[in-house]
Amino acid sequence: MSNIKAGAAWAPINIQDVLPMEGFTIVRDDLTVRLLIVENGERFVIASMDMTSLPEDVHDEMISLVSDLTGAPLAHVWLTLTHSFAGPHIFPAPKPGKPQRGPVRSPEELAKMALLREHYESALKKAAEEAVGSMREAQVKAGAGESFVNIGRNVFDGERWVIGPNPEEPVNRKLSVLRVDDMEGNSIATVFNYSVRSSALANEDHHATDKIVTYDLGGEARKNIEDKIGGTAIFLCGGAADLNPREEGAKALASLGAELGGDVLKVREGATAISGTAPGTATVDVMLDNRDSNPNAGMENLIVTDTFEGNGRSEKQTVYMLDLGGAVLLGVKPEMDGICAKAMTDGGALMAVCMVNGSGKSMPSKRAYELKQYTAFHSPFMPGSAEKMAEAAISLIESC
């Protein structure tokens, strides 16, 4: 008899009735929300939403909603984003006396965003209800391997670094998997963590029209997993700031999704039981120095002589640790790169996840600043911030 219970479910987002929105007019795939609940004396939740980013206050409200819906303590809830760019954003209406975030939006656009938020919350409620209702005795296993679907996304064109596939760039290939089955061996959930932007089909040009809504690479891999073994598959984005899918386009999305899904299943098959030590959560706050950046500037506007000087301000960033009983997950809000994620997993974590309990701009390694790469110019963080976060994360594991 197992002391562990688990339940998982997913629910689609009703997105068709908010389109057109931000240039999106076509739906290839339903976006989804997904939940895994693991209970081993205490209840823990990993929730995932197909979305690029969320404002912090909206994210905080949704985390509270997940906590209420599942009965898990707030500190035991991870709400993560897949960081796919193939879907519209949610920004709240500006509050009186407060500046509006991002570009100025019309009342119609703000109304659509409010409706889209309602759809995400409705999906969270449906998935949470089904996950809670499906709780049963479970066994949890973990494993790690590699996948080769990613590639460096920084290319030097002779004058500056631009975005493009580059097989010569450092690549983090690690693929980590949590296997959650019932006592008969039927899949409850498959959670996989990999360093890649889920953007084989996504159009990151926010001014484009006739863009396609898709769950993209992470979702295509999920579908392949679920078609073969059932259960609920959950993609947790790793160090994505410097890594893209190795190919782009509709054919690439299908083939790479099948490849990544197949790699996950191979790791899943060889996963071994976790140690069963007492589960828990912990956090550590890190103060990071800031710099002024222009995250909306195109590559043609980047100043390659930038010396990345600080602006005299700093901000608190949190490292989250979720230990499911021998399987340690580390999470951060910013979009770290593969080098940072590798440092965390080399330091003892099974998984290193970005877009956890919030979202943030790129936090690249020192190398990106030294080379003056695109991600460094877009980052609001000073050089060394990623390394500081990784060091804090490893110290957090060691202290627990």
pLDDT score, position 106? 85
397: Cα within 13 Å, side-chain hemisphere: 24
Amino acid at 86: A
Q: Please tell me the total number of residues recorded for the chain in this structure.
A: 400
What pLDDT sits at residue 296? 54
> Hey, which bits of the chain come out as E strands?
5-12, 24-27, 32-39, 43-49, 77-81, 136-146, 150-156, 161-166, 174-182, 187-194, 211-213, 232-237, 243-245, 272-273, 280-289, 314-323, 328-331, 334-336, 351-353, 360-363
State how far the Cα of 308 lies from the Cα of 286, in Å rounded to an integer. 20
Q: What is the pLDDT along the chain (400 residues), one digit of tens a residue?
A: 578 999 999 999 999 989 999 999 999 999 999 999 999 989 999 999 999 999 888 999 999 999 999 999 999 999 999 999 899 988 876 766 666 656 677 889 889 999 999 999 999 999 999 999 999 999 999 999 999 999 999 998 888 888 889 999 999 999 999 999 999 999 999 999 999 999 998 766 556 678 999 999 999 999 999 999 999 999 999 999 999 999 999 999 999 999 999 999 999 999 999 988 889 999 999 999 999 876 555 555 555 556 788 999 999 999 999 999 999 999 999 999 999 999 999 999 999 999 999 988 899 999 999 998 888 888 999 999 999 999 999 999 999 8
With a CB cutoff of 8 Å and minimum separation 6, the contacts of 249 are 200, 201
The whole-number pLDDT of residue 205 equals: 57
**Helix residue ranges, H only, 22-106:** 56-70
Q: Global pTM? A: 0.95
Q: What is the DSSP string of 83-120?
A: --SSS----PPPPTTSPPSSS---HHHHHHHHHHHHHH
Q: Is 139 helix (H, G, I), strand (E, B) or coil?
A: strand
- What does the pLDDT look like over 127-162, one tens digit per residue? 999 999 999 999 999 999 999 999 999 998 888 888
Query: Pick from 171, 179, 302: which is nearest to 239 by CA?
Result: 171
pLDDT at 306: 63
What are the residue ranges spanned by the domains of the chain? 5-399
Rg, the chain, Cα only:
20
CA nearest neighbour of 392 among 287, 308, 295: 287
CA distance 218 to 86: 12
